[in-house]
Amino acid sequence: MLQVNHIRENKEAYIDQLKKRNFEAKDILDEVLQLDDDRRATQVKLDEVLAESNRLSKQIGMMFKNGEHQKANLIKEKTGTLKEDSKELSEKLGGIVAKLEELLYTIPNVPHPSVPAGASEDDNEEIFKAGDVPSLVEGALPHWELAKKYDIIDFELGNKVTGAGFPVYKGKGARLQRALITYFLDKAVEAGYTEYQLPLMVNEASGLGTGQLPDKEGQMYHITADDLYMIPTAEVPMTNMYRDRLLTDKNFPIACTGYTPCFRREAGSYGAHVRGLNRLHQFDKVELVRIEKPENSYDALDGMVAHIKDILSDLKLPYRILRLCGGDLGFTAALTFDFEVFSTAQDRWLEISSVSNFETFQANRLKLRYKNKEGKKELVHTLNGSALALPRVLAGILENYQTEKGIKIPDVLVPYTGFDYID
């Protein structure tokens, strides 16, 4: 959520920068500032009424003490009117604050200056590419056919038990999935991240804190009886561990990791690009979250990018990094880098990670601050990234590592799987 004082100081710049998102901000920012003016004016009136009421109450007390009962009772009538005024002003102030907050929730984050303009994913900027695309054997198959051939993932059984988008991993497929989770966690812990095991459901305040609500409410599974939401990513519970916190220098740096299943309602469209593991309602992911002082956050972002590059180099998968354009940038992000693995069997790129700096956008919602060296309270910067989302990594391994003998396991994973081929 944008800060009102920053909107007031940078309105024209924000209007210009938000155009990168194809978001026309002028009218809504003008309304925000008008509401804030109304809030300030109402608060001043309320403070004046409360101060006058307090002054008169003290005066009444002195009059009763001095035996001036008649005068005291006359003034008491005035305090009754002041109480009514204060009640009306308090209700008005509450309404203005609620409307202001509701409006602020609808404004996306301001893009970082390096974010390119653009309307869709077609305008994203490729900034890095590594790895060789393998030459596959004749008759190479996409991963959903490989999963059936080697009996390692059963999509039909998942559909029977739950529905489309809930696959069942079995045998070596389940063991490879577990190996990837453990390997990703080990890499994160070695890099200095503290591992957490997190709840898979969150309350509304947590969804609001990281920006999934109200923006992505329709994409989240909502348990209405308890008013809880299944997490779309471990980012939500992990970042919300620090909601309503005041940090000090000794708390930094904060680096968290955790594995969770993730749940997303979006169904997507039909076709090969959403077949198999390409898009699921339930999937596994290892997440990274960092909380940093503003001056350190972009160095931290570079470190997260380097961490994921290291993992993909270890797995020897061909990949590229995209800087997302304004039209493809997530609602809460100031800057996002997407990692994509090349699927040779599908002849297309598959997104496997997004690494984002949200700057103060989430922290303002979370009321997450730190006390700087001067003793002033400032908002922190929050960052997160997938390291990694498993379905498309697994799809990339199955497709790019298929041989006449079977599916070769990347060398770095063999100590975790206990086998070197799926055959």
Query: Model confidence over 187-197: pLDDT tens digits?
Result: 999 999 999 99
Are residues 337 and 256 both part of a single domain?
Answer: yes
Stronger pLDDT, 269 or 404, i.e. the higher one: 404
Are residues 208 and 298 both part of a single domain?
Answer: yes
| Residue linked to tokens 């081929």 | 421
Domain assignment present for 407:
yes
Q: What is the span of the domain harbouring residue 78? A: 4-104
Are residues 189 and 307 both part of a single domain?
Answer: yes
Phi-psi region of 3 (alpha: psi -120 to 50; beta: other; left: phi over 0): beta
Q: Which of 73, 104, 135 is the last residue of a domain?
A: 104
Are residues 228 and 327 both part of a single domain?
Answer: yes
- Distance between CA atoms of residues 123 and 146, nearest Å: 33
Q: What is the CATH number of the domain that holds 21?
A: 1.10.287
Cα dist from 174 to 90, 168, 171, 392, whole Å? 58, 8, 5, 15
Question: Does the annotation flag 287 for ligand binding?
Answer: yes
Beta-bridge partners for 341: 319, 350
Domain assignment present for 203:
yes
User: Nearest 5°: phi and psi at 314?
Assistant: -60, -40
pLDDT for 46 beyond 60: yes
Q: Please give the model's pTM, rounded to 2 decimal places.
A: 0.92
Question: Does the annotation flag 60 for ligand binding?
Answer: no
Q: Which of 70, 104, 138 is the last residue of a domain?
A: 104
Which tokens in the block code for residue 356?
């984002």
Question: Does the annotation flag 279 for ligand binding?
Answer: no
Question: Does the annotation flag 233 for ligand binding?
Answer: yes
Are residues 90 and 140 both part of a single domain?
Answer: no
Which tokens in the block code for residue 358?
């949200």
Domain assignment present for 115:
no
**Mean pLDDT score of the chain:** 94
Once rounded to an integer, what is the mean pLDDT over residues 140-156?
96
Q: Residue 141: CA atoms inside 13 Å, Cβ hemisphere, count? A: 15
Domain assignment present for 109:
no
Domain assignment present for 234:
yes
pLDDT for 267 beyond 60: no
Are residues 140 and 74 both part of a single domain?
Answer: no
- Distance between CA atoms of residues 88 and 50, nearest Å: 12
Say which amino acid occupies 76. Answer: K
Are residues 99 and 129 both part of a single domain?
Answer: no
- Distance between CA atoms of residues 372 and 247, nearest Å: 9
Domain assignment present for 113:
no
Are residues 42 and 74 both part of a single domain?
Answer: yes
Q: Which of 77, 104, 131 is the last residue of a domain?
A: 104
Domain assignment present for 114:
no
CB-CB contact of 136 with 145 (8 Å): no
Are residues 96 and 172 both part of a single domain?
Answer: no
pLDDT for 73 beyond 90: no
Predicted confidence (pLDDT) per residue in 156-165, tens digit: 999 999 999 9
What burial letters (b/e) apply to 364-403, b meaning 16+ CB within 10 Å? bbbebbbeeeeeeeebbbbbbbbbbbbbbbbbbbbbbbbe
What burial letters (b/e) apply to 175-207, b meaning 16+ CB within 10 Å? bbbebbbbbbbebbeebebeebebeebbeeebb
Q: Which helix (H) or strand (E) holds 177?
A: helix 172-190
Predicted confidence at residue 75, as pLDDT, reads 75
Question: Does the annotation flag 354 for ligand binding?
Answer: yes
CB-CB contact of 284 with 390 (8 Å): yes
- Nearest alpha carbon to residue 408 among 399, 143, 314, 141: 399
User: Nearest 5°: phi and psi at 372?
Assistant: -80, 180
Which tokens in the block code for residue 215?
């923006």
**CA 276, 280, 285, 288 torsion: positive or negative?**
positive
Cα dist from 295 to 35, 292, 303, whole Å? 31, 8, 14
CB-CB contact of 418 with 300 (8 Å): no
Are residues 138 and 84 both part of a single domain?
Answer: no
Once rounded to an integer, what is the mean pLDDT over residues 63-91?
83
Q: What is the CATH number of the domain that holds 244?
A: 3.30.930.10
Predicted confidence (pLDDT) per residue in 351-410, tens digit: 999 999 999 999 999 999 999 888 999 999 999 999 999 999 999 999 999 999 999 999
Q: Please count the structural domains in the chain.
A: 2
Domain assignment present for 112:
no
Question: Does the annotation flag 266 for ligand binding?
Answer: yes
CB-CB contact of 128 with 313 (8 Å): no
pLDDT for 271 beyond 60: no
Which tokens in the block code for residue 314?
């270890």
Residues contacting residue 249 through CB under 8 Å, at least 6 positions apart: 370, 373
- Nearest alpha carbon to residue 358 among 385, 320, 325: 385
Runs of H (alpha helix) within 227-280: 235-240
Once rounded to an integer, what is the mean pLDDT over residues 262-275?
69
- Distance between CA atoms of residues 214 and 233, nearest Å: 16
Are residues 84 and 230 both part of a single domain?
Answer: no
Question: Does the annotation flag 351 for ligand binding?
Answer: yes
- Greatest C-alpha distance within the chain: 106
Are residues 97 and 128 both part of a single domain?
Answer: no
